[in-house]
Chains A and B, each alone.
Chain A
Amino acid sequence: METQNNQLNYIEDTQGRWGIFAWIFSTDHKRIGILYLISITTFFLLAALMGGLMRLELIAPGETIMDAQTYNGLFTVHGIIMIFLVVIPGLGAVFGNFFLPIMIGARDVAFPRLNLFSWWIYMAGAILAVYSQFAGDGPPDTGWTFYAPYSTESGTNVVAAVFAAFVLGFSSILTGLNFIVTIHRMRAPGMTWFKMPLFPWSLYATAWIQVLATPIVGITLMMIVAERLFQIGFFDPALGGDPILYQHLFWIYSHPAVYIMILPAMGVITEIIPTFAKKSIFGYKAIALSSVAIAAVGYFVWGHHMYTSGMSGTARWFFSFLTFIVAIPSAIKVFNWVATMYKGSIDARTPFLYAATFIFLFMIGGLTGLVLGSLATDVHVHDTSFVVAHFHYIIFGGMGFAFFAAIHYWWPKMFGKMYNERVANIAWLITFVGFNVLYFPLFVIGIQGMPRRYFDYLPEFHAGHLISTIGAFILLSGLFLMIINIYRAKKHVTPAGDNPWGGVTLEWQVPSPPPTLNFDEIPTITKSPYSFEK
């Protein structure tokens, strides 16, 4: 492909706008990706610090640094920010925006203005979410799940928090819609569905969940607001409502939401492993179609959050059965990733290290999910710290580590500068060790019977909580080292080059940083996306 020496890159090209306006009013998908990167990183750090404070409170039984009401507010706000502001938009909004058009050979997404509007909606929702913490009658204390009738009765600022989640939903729906149309209509000539890279495939499966499932949580959250303001009686039995109905409606969205987080993460890992193994992905179609299978079956497993709720016996075994079935496409991906390494020529650099640890942590998250999908065992560990450990292994160990893998993989492309790889590897090791020290003990005390969302606990759980808190601070120090190291990449004088890792997908064939229109000439695709043969 031609190098585009005359074209400005997207960072230089302000399109005549001044300072910050060149960013917040830009419809360039790459600039919007950076906007999300900055916003999401900020909220991530905020909520991670809240997590650190919660762990500090739990370092010993009894009140340590805060009272129970503050603690209940903290775990609620930690959950709301992490789920709705960080992990749901996460990879799709940052790397999907930046790389989806480039990877499929397009100049932008299908609806660039809608794309910018989605970011503005995201910010409006984010401001509302932060507002709900400081205004009104104290931060919401319902947990991010807003279970009725507690959420319809709590005296705290629930309405603002719920409304924030409602607004954020629109951002997610519109981004999903944008990606679906982009993938259908804007692939480069010759790029058939099965010549499309697998990160776009995962974004495609994700986008359908965003479009189809998010409206349900939007309506459900509005029902909570209506219940609180007008005492309608949807969920509160005192008014003739049904609390179990709320749980069904909530999880119809919120379980597929887990796949909104993890599918793009799987997509990132699928990009990284071939690049560093210098080898075509093993089982391309199996990986592509398993994304679709996860998205499809993932709609019908929500009831596994409700085995002890009083749901009918039939529903309990039905959801348990489907939960076991949905494990299969994830297992298929793991086998194919490992098989891709077979007879490769592996260069274990920072993004690859994160990808390999993703596989390990994701397996722990997935296998402990079997314990929770199984009826007999779930009855025991449901609503214990076992669940907390499980979903942090999936969301943080999975989506989070995939995000770290992605930022180390694509950073030189996005900014044209390489970070210090030695420091990055040290930060990786600290983060990986800290993560396991933090979350693994929670499995053990969960099996012993430590319920979740507990401000205080019985003495037999002390050792586990103490180790976990130590892990939290190892993890936080690893995170800070990682972020500082990436940020300091800008000081490097020598450019990273257009293709520092020797990748073969389209983003490695444009300059670093990419020019505003990505390509001088839209490429014509003749080969599979992971063809390393010269």
Chain B
Amino acid sequence: MTILQIFSGASNFVEGVDTAFVLIFGVSFFFLFGITAVMIYFIYKYHKSRNPVATQIEGSNTLEVIWTVIPLIIVLVMFYYGYKGYAVMREVPEDAITVKVISYMWDWDFEYENGKLSKDLYVPLNKAVKLELTSLDVIHSLYIPAFRVKEDAVPGVANYMWFIAQLEGSYDILCAEYCGLRHSYMEAQAIVVPEEEYLAWLADFDPEVKDPKGLEIMRANACMGCHSLDGAKLVGPSFKGIFGSERTVIVDGKTTTVVADEDYMKRAITDPNKEVVAGFQPNLMQSYKKIIAEEDINHIVDYLKTIE
């Protein structure tokens, strides 16, 4: 990202937003430097060495009216431009492509209308895209600085945002609402490609190939934000090769070992802070006893047995 990228045109909102920025900053700099200069001039000119006796002036109603009315007009103009640049962000064109955003601690999934799931947001050039924002846990906020858009993903609330990407390229997607331990790592890319390329990408997907049920349940409960399948150490231990392995755990401050059998894996879901794997923080995971049905927990355990 180069310096500020004012008026870069990466999305259809950049111009309206940057116009409001330029207007407000322009007026602000004028007043900041103007008033500061006048103040410094007064301090110099009316320093006691140059002006030993002050002239008593109680005030002036004319001046009070002037410096109430003029700033009032100026801020109303600012309000108008801010509103104008923003109002279009709430009016989604009817032909917009809808992508469902599934946010969770601490990652994004993008689900397309044909069921395709992606870790990055692929969008076609010059086409309206509507993002339906959902969260599986706490509040997140989807932020694409280059597009000047941001909207919170609030659990239980159907928030949305939209944009038309106007420049090909790859842009940072960041989480702007604080969401815990790995908040600053909750990143993805918005990848803008020509429409044909987008359609080809979208079609490269077989809806018949379904993920195992256990994996789907884990995804829906945001397990994968903290536990990897490939051995990578995230916030919690990886699931790789977990079944039957010997685990060093800390129970009530004492280190001991257990074998990860079915029973252990169920306990780790329903009472996760009882036996904490050595090297990991307690209390970061809540009990899923009331959240995931017993039958679904069995599906998860069945799936975890297959991760080698």
Contacts and interface: CB of A to CB of B under 8 A. Distances in A.
Interface of A: 68-69, 72, 137-138, 141-143, 147, 149-150, 153-156, 237-238, 242-244, 277-280, 282-286, 308-310, 313, 316-317, 320-321, 324-325, 327-328, 331-332, 334-336, 338-339, 341-348, 356, 359-360, 363-364, 367-368, 370-371, 373-380, 382-384, 444, 447-449, 451-458, 460, 528, 532-533
Contact of A368 (B13, B28, B53, B177): B28
A379 B152 contact: no
B107 to A, nearest CB: 15
Contact of A370 (B53, B78, B139): B78
A143 B178 CA distance: 8
B42 A283 contact: no
Given A279-B54, A363-B31, A363-B36, A308 B46 contact: no
Contacts of A367: 24, 28, 31-32
B183 interface: yes
A323 to B, nearest CB: 8
10 closest Cβ contacts across the A-B interface? A449-B145, A237-B156, A376-B85, A374-B82, A155-B283, A375-B86, A367-B28, A454-B184, A341-B42, A383-B176
Contacts of B141: 308, 383
Given A68-B182, A363-B36, A328 B145 contact: no
A285 B63 CA distance: 13
B28 to A, nearest CB: 4
Given A341-B43, A364-B32, A376-B85, A237 B155 contact: yes
Contact of B157 (A310, A356, A371, A376): A310
B244 interface: no
Given A137-B283, A279-B55, A376-B81, A342 B176 contact: no
Contact of B67 (A69, A149, A320, A335): A335
A346 B47 contact: yes
Interface residues of B, number: 89
A338 B172 contact: no
Nearest to A458: B172
Interface in B125-169: 137-139, 141, 143, 145-146, 148-152, 154-157, 159
Contacts of A147: 138-139, 177-178
Contacts of A156: 283
B188 interface: no
Contact of A371 (B24, B51, B54, B283): B24
Nearest to A378: B82
B35 A334 contact: yes
Given A325-B75, A377-B85, A451-B174, A363 B35 contact: yes
Given A339-B59, A363-B35, 17 more contacts: A141-B180, A149-B155, A150-B179, A244-B154, A282-B60, A309-B154, A310-B152, A325-B75, A331-B71, A342-B46, A346-B43, A360-B39, A367-B32, A376-B13, A451-B143, A453-B178, A454-B183
Contacts of A345: 46-48, 51-54
B46 to A, nearest CB: 5
Contacts of B177: 147, 383
Interface in B1-16: 1, 3-4, 13, 16
A447 B86 CA distance: 17
B32 A150 contact: no
B184 A456 contact: yes
B201 interface: no
Contacts of A371: 21, 24-25, 28
A133 B160 CA distance: 37
Interface in B267-292: 273, 281-286, 291
B72 A150 contact: no
B83 interface: yes
Contact of A360 (B36, B54, B84): B36
27 contacts: A69-B281, A72-B180, A147-B138, A149-B137, A237-B156, A238-B156, A238-B291, A243-B139, A278-B48, A282-B60, A308-B151, A324-B79, A327-B75, A334-B35, A335-B63, A336-B64, A338-B42, A343-B46, A344-B54, A360-B32, A371-B25, A374-B78, A377-B85, A379-B150, A380-B145, A448-B4, A533-B56
A375 B154 CA distance: 20
B150 A278 contact: no
A332 B64 contact: yes
Contacts of A316: 86
B57 interface: yes
B209 interface: no
Dominant secondary structure of chain B at its interface with chain A: mixed
Contacts of A286: 59, 64
Nearest to B66: A335
B185 A456 contact: yes
Most buried by A among B3, B32, B58, B84: B58
B103 to A, nearest CB: 13
B62 to A, nearest CB: 11
A142 B148 CA distance: 26
Nearest to A375: B86
B76 interface: yes
B176 A376 contact: no
B58 to A, nearest CB: 6
B48 A375 contact: no
Nearest to A376: B85
A21 to B, nearest CB: 42
B89 interface: yes
Contact of B176 (A278, A334, A382): A382
Contacts of A356: 39, 43
Interface string B252-265: 00000000000000
Contacts of B200: none
A454 B139 CA distance: 15
B20 interface: yes
A371 B21 CA distance: 7
Contacts of B185: 456
A130 to B, nearest CB: 20
B251 interface: no
Contacts of B82: 320, 373-378
A379 B148 contact: yes
Nearest to B273: A155
A80 B251 CA distance: 33
Interface string B84-103: 11110110000000000000
Contacts of B86: 316, 375-376, 379
Contact of B21 (A149, A332, A377): A377
A363 B37 CA distance: 13
A320 B83 contact: yes
A376 B20 contact: yes
B24 A377 contact: yes
A375 B75 contact: no
Contacts of A142: 178
Contact of B137 (A153, A455, A533): A153
A204 B150 CA distance: 39
A336 B185 CA distance: 48
